[in-house]
Amino acid sequence: MEEKTTFKASAASDKEVSSDDVLAGQVIDYSGEPVSSHPGGLHRTFKARHIQMITLGGCIGSGLFISTGKGLHLGGAAAMLIGYTLICVMALAVMNLLSESTSVWPTSGGFIEHANRFVDPAMAFACGFTEWLAWVTVVAAEAAVVRVILTFWTDSIPTAAAMTVYLVLVFGIHALPNRWFAEFEFGTAALKVMCMIIILITCIALIAGAGKAGEVPHAYNYTTAPAFPNGFKGVATTFLLASWATGGQEIMSLSAAEAHRPRWDMPRACKNLFFRIVAFYELSIIFLTILVPYNDERLLGTGTVASSPFVIAMVNAGVKGLPDLMNAVILLGLVAIGAESLYVSSRTMVAMAEMGMFPKILGRIDKKGRPRWALFTSCIFCTIFTYINCSSTGGIIFTWFSSVSSTVFFLSWLSIAITNIQIHRAIKVQNDPVWTLPYAWKIRAFPATAVFLAVTTIFVLFSVGYVSLFPIGGAPPSAETFFETFLAVPLWIVCFLGYKLVYRTKFVNPAEADLQYGRKPLNEEDIAFFDRYFAQPMWKRLLSYVRF
> pTM score, two decimals?
0.84
pLDDT at 423: 93
pLDDT at 62: 67
pLDDT at 397: 59
Beta bridge partners of 7: 17
Cα 116 versus chain centre, distance:
20
Asked if the peptide bond before residue 371 counts as cis, ω within 30 degrees of 0, the response is: no
**Distance of alpha carbon 328 from alpha carbon 192, whole angstroms:** 10
Could you give the count of Cα atoms lying within 13 Å of 442 in the half-sphere of its Cβ? 16
CA dihedral for 90, 96, 100, 106, sign (positive or negative) = positive
**Distance of alpha carbon 7 from alpha carbon 76, whole angstroms:** 56
pLDDT at 14: 37
What's the CATH number for 48-508? 1.20.1740.10
Residue 545, Cβ density class (10 Å: 0-12 exposed, 13-18 middle, ≥19 buried)? exposed
**Distance of alpha carbon 83 from alpha carbon 459, whole angstroms:** 12
CA dihedral for 114, 117, 123, 124, sign (positive or negative) = positive
Under a CB-based contact definition with an 8 Å cutoff, are residues 334 and 327 in contact?
no
Q: H-type helices in 292-440, by residue range?
A: 309-317, 322-354, 372-388, 392-402, 404-429
**Distance of alpha carbon 421 from alpha carbon 364, whole angstroms:** 32
**Distance of alpha carbon 201 from alpha carbon 66, whole angstroms:** 18
Contacts of 288 (CB under 8 A, 6+ apart): 68, 72, 80, 203, 309, 310, 313
Find, among 2, 7, 94, the residue nearest to 435 by Cα.
7
SS3 362: helix
Residues in the chain: 548
pLDDT at 36: 41
pLDDT at 26: 32
Task: Give the N- to C-terminal CA distance of the chain in Å, as an integer.
Answer: 46
Domain ranges of the chain: 48-508
Cα 437 versus chain centre, distance:
29
pLDDT at 22: 34
Find, among 159, 180, 157, 146, the residue nearest to 46 by Cα.
180
Under a CB-based contact definition with an 8 Å cutoff, are residues 241 and 206 in contact?
no
Residue numbers in the chain where pLDDT is lower than 70: 1-62, 213-217, 247, 253-262, 264-265, 301-305, 391-403, 544-548
**Distance of alpha carbon 339 from alpha carbon 175, whole angstroms:** 11
